Amino acid sequence: MPSGKVHDQITIAAAAACVPLWWNLTAAPRDLSAGVVLIGSLLFSGLLISPDLDLNSSIYKRWGPLRFLWWPYQKAVPHRSWMSHSYVFGPLLRTAYLLAVVYGVLRIGLWTIRAVFPLDRNALSRQWLHALLHLPREHPAHFYMLVLGLLLGAGLHCIADTVWSAAKRRF
């Protein structure tokens, strides 16, 4: 398996390579924000929600004081299993897990704020969920770029692991 630094270099190089690729594959007028979403989601996927989050890795340590949020994921997902190192299911699982954690933190935060200020935390939670669920319909280009970036970031990691393991066995 390549080192964390090699995975990071692959991710950053792929993000840089996506700029001209995105530019040449999209029709004019180009939406710059959709390209930013592609690059940002690829970097996010490769550098922060990588398949190696199931280890005490550099990815895990990048979360700093918030890394405890990934502890349940680490205990539930075996390393290099089909759940973490698959091209589609892995990034979708980590994204869903992160969204569930963010939603839980949002609910707890709103509950705490409600103790001081009057607010309808259920309405705010529904608005957040509504915005998330309607993203594909209201911003399709951004949604597709987001999904593509998340899949590319994790996919490049899995490809690098596969090529590295095959090369080690062969040589």
Provide the pLDDT for residue 125.
85
pLDDT in tens, 65-112: 999 999 999 999 988 888 888 899 999 999 999 999 999 998 899 889
**CA gap 134, 41 in Å, rounded:** 18
CA 82 to chain centre: 17
Provide the pLDDT for residue 9.
94
Residues 131-149: what's their mean pLDDT? 93
**pLDDT class for 141, splitting at 50, 70, 90?**
confident
**CA gap 168, 165 in Å, rounded:** 5
CA 151 to chain centre: 8
Q: Is residue 7 a contact partner of residue 157, using CB atoms and an 8 Å limit?
A: yes
Provide the terminal-to-terminal Cα distance of the chain, rounded to the nearest Å: 14
**CA gap 109, 129 in Å, rounded:** 16
**Is it the case that residue 136 has pLDDT exceeding 80?**
yes
pTM of whole model > 0.85?
A: yes
- 122 Cβ neighbours under 8 A, 6+ residues apart: none
How far from 142 is each of 15, 104, 131, 163, CA to CA, in Å?
A: 16, 25, 13, 31
**CA gap 44, 123 in Å, rounded:** 29
Residues 115-142: what's their mean pLDDT? 90
Token reading at 57: 């890795």
How do the residues of the chain divide into helix, strand and coil, expressed in percent and rounded to 5? Answer: 80, 0, 20
Is residue 12 classed exposed, middle or buried when 0-12, 13-18 and 19+ CB atoms within 10 A define those classes?
A: middle
Handedness of CA 101, 105, 110, 112 (dihedral sign): positive
pLDDT in tens, 14-48: 999 998 888 877 777 888 888 999 999 999 999 99
Provide the pLDDT for residue 79.
84
- 139 Cβ neighbours under 8 A, 6+ residues apart: none
